[in-house]
Amino acid sequence: MIRYSLFLLGTWWFFAPATCCAQQKASPEQFTFFEKNIRPVLVEHCYRCHSSGAAKGGKVKGGLQLDTREGIRTGGDSGPAVVPGNPAKSRLLAALRHETVMMPPSGKLPDSVVADFAAWIERGAPDPRDGKPLTQTEKIDWQKARDFWAFQPPKVHAPPQVRNAMWPRKDIDRFILAELEKRGLEPVRAATNREWIRRATFDLIGLPPTPEEIEAFEKDKTPEAHAKVIDRLLASPHYGERWGRYWLDLARYTDDLGGTVGPVLAPTAFRYRDWVIQAFNRDMPYDQFVRLQLAGDLIPEPAKEYAERLGGLGFQGLGQRFSGNAVGMVKKKVADELDDRVDTVTRALLGLTVSCARCHDHKFDPIPTVDYYSLATAYNGAKLSEEIALGSPTANKARDDWQKQVAALSQKIKSAAKTATTPDAKAALESLQTELARLNQSVPPAVVKGPAVSGGGQAMRVNVRGNPDQLGDVAPAGFLQILKSKGALAELKFTRLELADAIVDRHNPLTARVYVNRVWHYHFGRGIVGTTSNFGQLGDRPTHPELLDTLAVRFMDNGWSTKWLHREIMLSAVYGLSSVPDAKNLAKDADNHYLWRMTPRRLDFEAWRDSMLVVAGKLDPRIGGPPYLDPKGKVQLHPENPENRRRTIYGFISRFKPNPTLTLFDFPEPNVTSDQRTATTIPQQQLFALNSPFVLAMSRSFAARLEASEKSEERRLLLGWQLAFGRVPTEREVAIAREFLREAASVDEKLRPWERLCHSLLTTNEFAFVP
C-alpha cells in the first residue's frame, strides 16, 4: 500500500503557543534553595515523564510539565501542580506524600526531600526557570482541511477517451481502461461463460451455480444473457444472506453480548440479522437502510410496517456491553460503550476513525476532540442494549391487554373454584370459564421483540484525555464540523435521527463514496480505496477517483439502490475479465490495483462451507430464524456440526466464546466493526478439511448423490466435476480419478472409494477459489 510521508501530513495545523504568565520577584537566596534542593530532585525523578522533552517525544504523562515555572504552576490535566504559598493546594506535594497519586512511581522520596518541597512552596515557590511548556493549542485550518479529496463533494465525470474503443462495455470500463493504457497495462482475456457465471453466482448469493443454470446460460445467445443471470440472482432470497453477512461484519453482529462467567445471551439478536437479510433482498434504499438502523424509532413516518421500522435498531443495540458494577469502573463502562457506538457509526458509515479523537485531537484528520463528544451526544444517555417490541403499539397493547385479562380471569376462576359449592356459585364459575375459553379463541399475535437502543441526545461534556472522571466543557451537540455543509447553524439538539440525516445527506461527501467502494471491494477483492473503512489521511488514496465519484453520485441518483449498483458493476467488461496471470502486467502491477484481470479470491468460510452443503445435496434453504438446531433452542447452530445443514450465516455467533472453527477461518472479531476479511492459510484449517466430521459427512452425501444419479463411472465423474467445479473433467483428470478409484477399491477403509474421491474434490484448491 502507498505510504505517505508523515511530513506531508498535518500541514493544516498551526501552532499557537499558550499565553505567558507574569514574572515574580524573588531573592537570589531563594533561588539558591531551589537550585540546591528542588531542581535536582525534579530532574532526577520527574523530568523523564513530566517535561517539555517528554512532551516532544510524545511521552509526557498527564499533560504535566515540571521543567518550567509556567509549567509547574499551570500543572497538568488535574490542575496546578504548585500553588505558590499554598502547600495544601499544591498537587505536586500531595503526590510526593502519596496522598493522592503516588509519585515518583519508583517509590516514595525520603521525608526530608518532601519537607523541602513543602517549605519551598510555603515560601512562594520561587522559581528562576523561564520558558514555556510545550502545550500547543492546535488549530485546524478548515479551509485547507476541506481540500482533502475525501471531503470534496463527489461529482459526475465524463468517461475518459481510450485508445481501444472496442473493449469498454460500460462507462466504468472507460475509466478503468484509461488508467491501464496510461500505465502500459493490458487487460487479459475475458472470462469464459462458465467462469463468469460461477463468479457471478458466488458473488451474489455465495453458492455455486447448478449444472442446469450453467447450461441455460451457455445456450442463451441473446445480448441480455448476462443481465438475466444477474437479475435472477438478485431476485434469489439467498442474495440477502450473502450481502447481509457482509453488513453483519460491519455491524459486529453477535448472539450474545460477551460475559464473564458465562455468556450474556441476546436471544432476539437474530431478528436484526434477519432484518438485514430482508433489507438487502428488498433492495431497501441505502439512505433509508442507514436511517432505520440509527433512528427507526424516531422517524415520524406513518405507523405501518413497525417491524421494518424498528428491526434495524439492533445495529447499535447489539454493540458492546461491558460489565460495570466494579469499583471505579462504572463511568468507564458507560464511556467505553458509547465509544463502541461512535466507532462503529463513523468507521462503517463514514469511513472515518473518529474514535481516535476520544482522548486527543485526531492526529491526522480534521477531527478535534470536541467533535467526538458533539457526535457522541446522539447516543449519550441512551439505553444502549435494549430489547423492544417490534410490533405496532396497537398490536402490542392488544396482546398485553389480552394477557392481563387471561391472568385476571384465571385468578378469579381459581378462587371461585374453591368456593363453588352452591348452584349459583357453580353457574358463576361456569360463566367465567366460558369467558376464558372465548378469550383463548382469539389470541392476538405474540409480541415480537428485537434488540435496539432507545433515547440518547443528552448534552455531553468533553472527557479530558478520554478520562470520564475528568470532565471539561460541554460539547456543542452536532455533527462533525468537517462534514457540515457550509453555513449550517449549531444544532440545538442532536438526536440519533439528526445524526442519521446528517450521514445520508446528499451533501455529505463520504457516505455514498464509502458504500459504493465497499460494494466494489466485495466484487473485486479490493476497493477503489483500499482501506474501506478509512478514507482519512492515513487511508489509501483512490486508484480511480473519478470513477468512484461518478459511481457515488449516480448511486444516489438511482435511489441509493444496491441492486442497481451490482448491475452497473457486473455488466462491465472489467468485471468479466478472466483471472489468468500475465507476466508483463504482473511486473508492473503485481497487486492488480488497476484491474488488468480479476484477482483470484479464496471463498470465505461461509461460502466454502455452504457450497459443500449444496454439492452434497444437503442444504437446508430456509431463510432466517433463531440460531438453534432444535425448536426448543437448546442446541446452538455451529458450523462444524454435521447435523447443521443451515447456511453458515445462521450459526450462533458468540462474543463470550467465539466458535473455534469460525476463528480458525478468519471470521471477523465480532466485538468491533470489521470491513475486510483477512485470508490466512494455516495447517489447522486443513485439518478441518482433511478430518472434520462435517467435511467427511458432506463427502459421503456427495458420493451418495453421484451413485444414486448415475450408473457408469464416467457419468458419475462428469456429474461430480460439474457439481463441484462447474465444468467437465479433462481426460487426464478422468484417468487419474479412475486410477485412484481402482486402487481405493483394493483396500478396506471406512470411507468407500467414491466417498474418498468426493472428499478429495471438496478439499481441492479449485473448490476453494472463485475463478
Partner 1 sequence: MSFFENSYFLSRRELLAQTSYGVGMIGLASVLAGRSEASTPLAARPPHFPARAKRIIHLWMNGGPSQVDTFDPKPALHRFAGQRPASTTGLTTERRTGGLMPSPFRFTRHGQSGLEISELFPFVAQHADDLCVIRSMHTNTPVHEASNWLMFTGNVQPIRPSYGSWLLYGLGTENENLPGFIVMGEGQPVNGPSNWSSRFLPGIYQGCQVTLPVDYRPQDVLANLHNASLSPAAQRRQLDFTQRLNDLHRDRVGAENAFGARMDSLELAYRMQTSAAEAFDIRGEPASILDLYGLTGPNAGASANTNGGFRRATFARNCLLARRLAERGVRVIQIYCGNLQPWDTHSNNAQGQQTLAQVVDQPIAGLLTDLKRRGLLEDTLVVWGGEFGRTPATEGSNGRDHNHWGFSMWLAGGGVKSGLAYGATDEFGFRAVEKRVHVHDLHATMLHLMGIDHERLTFRYSGRDHRLTDVHGTVIRDLIA
Sites for partner 1 among residues 330-359 (CB under 8 A): 332, 336, 343, 347, 352-353, 355-356
Residue in the structure block whose three cell numbers are 469511513: 351
- Name every residue whose Cβ is closer than 8 Å to that of residue 185 and which is 6 or more positions away in sequence: 585, 588, 589, 594, 596
- Interatomic CA distance for residues 645 and 619, integer angstroms: 5
**Segment 728 to 767, residues that bind partner 1, using CB under 8 A:** 730, 732-733, 736-737, 740, 743-744, 747, 749-751, 756-757, 759-761, 763-766
**Segment 189 to 208, residues that bind partner 1, using CB under 8 A:** none
E-state strands within 611-721: none
Show the cell assigned to 297.
424509532
**Segment 302 to 331, residues that bind partner 1, using CB under 8 A:** 320, 322-323, 326-329
Q: Least CB distance from residue 668 to partner 1, whole Å?
A: 8
Q: Which of 27, 219, 590, 631 binds partner 1 (CB under 8 A)?
A: 590
Q: Are 626 and 614 in contact (CB under 8 A)?
A: no
Chain centroid to Cα 175, Å, comes to: 30
Residue in the structure block whose three cell numbers are 453488513: 247
- Interatomic CA distance for residues 125 and 679, integer angstroms: 62
470 lies in the binding site for partner 1 (CB under 8 A): no
Q: Are 206 and 649 in contact (CB under 8 A)?
A: no
Q: Least CB distance from residue 218 to partner 1, whole Å?
A: 19
47 lies in the binding site for partner 1 (CB under 8 A): no
Phi/psi at 139 (nearest 5 deg)? Answer: -120, 145
Q: First vs last Cα of the chain: how many Å apart? A: 24
Nearer to partner 1, 555 or 652 (CB): 652
The region of 434-442, 566-574, 608-616, 727-735 touching partner 1 under the rule CB under 8 A is 727-735
Burial (CB < 10 A; 0-12, 13-18, 19+), residue 270, is: buried
Q: Least CB distance from residue 216 to partner 1, whole Å?
A: 24
Residue 373: CB atoms within 10 A of its CB come to 25
**Segment 212 to 271, residues that bind partner 1, using CB under 8 A:** 258, 260-261
Nearer to partner 1, 156 or 334 (CB): 334
Q: What angle do CA 534, 540, 546 make, to 5 degrees?
A: 100
Q: Is 735 helix (H, G, I), strand (E, B) or coil?
A: helix
- Interatomic CA distance for residues 609 and 250, integer angstroms: 21
**Segment 352 to 391, residues that bind partner 1, using CB under 8 A:** 352-353, 355-356, 362-365
Nearer to partner 1, 76 or 457 (CB): 76
Q: Least CB distance from residue 680 to partner 1, whole Å?
A: 5
**Segment 108 to 167, residues that bind partner 1, using CB under 8 A:** 108
- Interatomic CA distance for residues 321 and 710, integer angstroms: 54
- Interatomic CA distance for residues 175 and 504, integer angstroms: 26
- Interatomic CA distance for residues 569 and 377, integer angstroms: 38
Residue in the structure block whose three cell numbers are 453466482: 201
Q: Least CB distance from residue 415 to partner 1, whole Å?
A: 46
Nearer to partner 1, 444 or 658 (CB): 658
685 lies in the binding site for partner 1 (CB under 8 A): yes
**Segment 655 to 684, residues that bind partner 1, using CB under 8 A:** 655-658, 660-661, 663-667, 669, 671-672, 675-684
94 lies in the binding site for partner 1 (CB under 8 A): no
Instruction: Write the DSSP string, 32-48.
Output: HHIIIIIHHHHHHHTTT
**Segment 602 to 641, residues that bind partner 1, using CB under 8 A:** 602, 640
Q: Least CB distance from residue 411 to partner 1, whole Å?
A: 42
**Segment 526 to 585, residues that bind partner 1, using CB under 8 A:** 526, 530-531, 534, 536, 538, 579-581
Q: Which amino acid is at 39?
A: R
Q: Least CB distance from residue 755 to partner 1, whole Å?
A: 8
> Which value, to the nearest 10 degrees, does the dihedral of the CA atoms of residues 294, 299, 302, 308 take?
0
Size of the site for partner 1 (CB under 8 A): 107
Q: Which of 101, 417, 446, 690 binds partner 1 (CB under 8 A)?
A: 690
187 lies in the binding site for partner 1 (CB under 8 A): no
Nearer to partner 1, 420 or 672 (CB): 672
105 lies in the binding site for partner 1 (CB under 8 A): yes
